A and B are shown apart, each in its own frame.
Chain A
Amino acid sequence: MNLFADAFAWLFSPDRLTGPHPLPQAIAEHLFYTFVSVAIAAVIALPIGYLIGHTGKGRDVAVAIVGAGRAVPSFGLILLLVLVLGVLHKPAAAITAFVLLAIPSILSGAYTGIEAIDRATLDAGRAMGMTQWQVFRKIEFPLSLPLVMGGLRSAVLQVVATVTLAAYVGLGGLGFYIIQGVPLRRFDQILGGALAVVFLALVLDGLFALLQRMAVPRGVGAGKPHQSGAPRRTNKGVMEQNQDFAVETGT
């Protein structure tokens, strides 16, 4: 018995298009919760992050919030919020938990993005008589974009993996296959659901990697290979590889 073969057979069975939980619908629900949560988190975190980066004030507070936010256990938070808000507001409770999960990455992406800009570039802008708003719009915003996209990218990745928990409170998504499969001992369904989440995460991460590269303003990426943005990305690449090797040796 090959579990992976069973899981793939389950994923690509024509039965996935019919029945009470069709796979396309589960993927749509999963993406819906992911994007709504990340979008709300971006609306909250980007302005705050830009403000912190631009003024340089409140950085310590932001670092503390980011650190604490990353330690919040999503599963407990979802169940707690469902009980606090009531069962009629399950989607709101789940999305709140996912928003809180997404905020730290986006916030740190925004303020580090602006902090990483060469001070001389900003001084040059000011010397040319730019207003604060022009400095932000013409220098800080475009130059911080790669790191901002990086923040969004890791937020999307974390949230798409965590939306699996939405099924625990009856909101569907790909997690449903997993939590229904465990008590029914349907290992093809469990692994199939898990592989679908992995696939979705890889696709979204690839998409955002592309966006991140496109976000580098023309003339910056090629001209300054050792600028603050570039080594960061290299480090991340190495980390990802290490993880892959760890998976390989662990198996």
Chain B
Amino acid sequence: MLGLTQKSGIALAAFAGAAALALGGCSSSDPLAAPSPTNSSSSASGPIVIGSQAYYSNEIVAEIYAQALEAKGFTVERKFNIGQRDAYIPSLESGEIQLFPEYTGNLLQFYKPDTTATTAADVYAALQTALPAGLEVLDQSTATDQDSYNVTADFAAKYGLTSLSDLSKVDVPLTLGGAPELEDRPYGPTGLKSKYGVDVAFKATGDTTVEDLLAGTVNIANVYSADPRIQTDKLVTLSDPDGLFLASNVVPVVNSKIAGSVADVINAVSAALTPEGLVALNVQSTVDQKSTPDIAKAWLTANGLN
């Protein structure tokens, strides 16, 4: 009995010690601060480091950038599948990664959460001033991959829905499904209320948002506009006349040190990338199950860029 009490005492003391150390460690420095920029990692002579999100569509665009640059004699290094914005922005700011396919609206919102710009041109202009020193964007493409609210074809037909403002005609309770963070995004339930006067409940459906919409656990789903499932599952995307969503065009973010040398190659890619083209690229990945390098190669060949 005594031995046991002593042991739990030691364990408790050890725990308290660990906690104190952890608390002490945190008060002295900010563990989340971006690492300080290093000059060596972004020297002009080394390979161009290209990153991508952990999102298949983003990786295809990154691979297109990589192959387009390789075709023009550049050496590139691929750091794909890094995760979401929070994970890779520090590396981008430090120069560890020098080129990254991004989305104008979402990136602007990352730096300026209270932005009021919604049209493609306004967002692109605002983004250029919002980016930190050392980073810049090249030309944006017309291809968009942005949040959109979708309903099933049956639901749209039943209530005559084509636009978000039509949602006020629906006489059943509305539930919006999407990633957990949508609940607190400006374009989430609060935005729907303030822009369109529509009250919706929220359900975090994460990776199964489209399945949930089809099963009826939610009746509005937040799906990216370039998602092939909007076509394959016959979803109806509600139009957004009052600009609830920020336009989010595919745009290359680049380290200023290499911006000049890669601009011509990457701008040619952006000029050729259309909204339909992006959906087609995604279909090749999700429906046809082709590999990312093959999809990129075929697209570059078709557009005469390699």
Contact = CB atoms under 8 A, between A and B. Distances in A.
| Main secondary structure on A side of the interface with B | helix
B203 interface: yes
B11 A83 contact: no
A20 B180 contact: no
A240 B11 contact: yes
A248 B181 contact: no
A20 B21 contact: no
A20 B27 contact: no
A213 B5 CA distance: 12
Interface residues of A, number: 37
A20 B212 contact: no
Given A3-B26, A83-B208, A87-B215, A180 B180 contact: yes
Interface string A70-92: 00000000010011001110100
Contacts of A248: 14, 17-18, 21
A148 to B, nearest CB: 19
A87 B11 contact: no
Nearest to A7: B26
Nearest to B28: A2
A183 B110 CA distance: 10
B18 A251 contact: yes
B277 interface: no
Contact of A244 (B14, B181, B202, B215): B14
Contacts of A10: none
B288 interface: no
Interface stretch (A29-37, A61-69, A168-176): A168-176
B106 to A, nearest CB: 10
B174 interface: no
Interface in B8-49: 8, 10-11, 14-15, 17-18, 21-23, 25-27, 30-32
| Main secondary structure on B side of the interface with A | helix
Nearest to A240: B11
Contacts of A22: none
B18 A87 contact: no
Contact of B204 (A2, A83, A176): A176
Nearest to B216: A88
A229 to B, nearest CB: 12
Contacts of B294: none
A233 B50 CA distance: 53
Nearest to A242: B14
B276 interface: no
A64 B18 CA distance: 36
B193 to A, nearest CB: 14
A241 B17 CA distance: 12
A167 B181 CA distance: 12
B14 A241 contact: yes
B7 interface: yes
A180 B184 contact: yes
B25 A251 contact: yes
A79 B211 contact: no
B205 interface: yes
Interface string B240-279: 0000000000000000000000000000000000000000
A176 B217 contact: no
B204 A184 contact: no
Contact of B202 (A20, A79, A169, A179): A20
B7 to A, nearest CB: 4
Interface in A145-175: 167-170
A171 to B, nearest CB: 9
Contacts of B179: 183
Contact of B206 (A168, A233, A238): A168
A184 B205 CA distance: 16
A182 to B, nearest CB: 7
Interface in A227-249: 233-234, 237-238, 240-241, 244-245, 247-248
Contacts of A240: 11
Contacts of A119: none
Nearest to B212: A87
A4 interface: yes
Contacts of B184: 180, 184
A141 interface: no
B84 interface: yes
Contacts of A4: 22-23, 26
B207 A244 contact: no
Given A183-B86, A248-B18, 7 more contacts: A4-B22, A4-B26, A79-B207, A170-B203, A170-B204, A179-B180, A244-B11
18 contacts: A3-B31, A3-B32, A20-B202, A87-B205, A87-B208, A90-B208, A170-B180, A180-B181, A184-B184, A185-B86, A237-B4, A237-B8, A237-B11, A241-B10, A244-B18, A247-B18, A248-B17, A251-B22
Closest 6 CB pairs of A and B: A244-B14, A180-B180, A183-B181, A248-B18, A247-B18, A237-B7
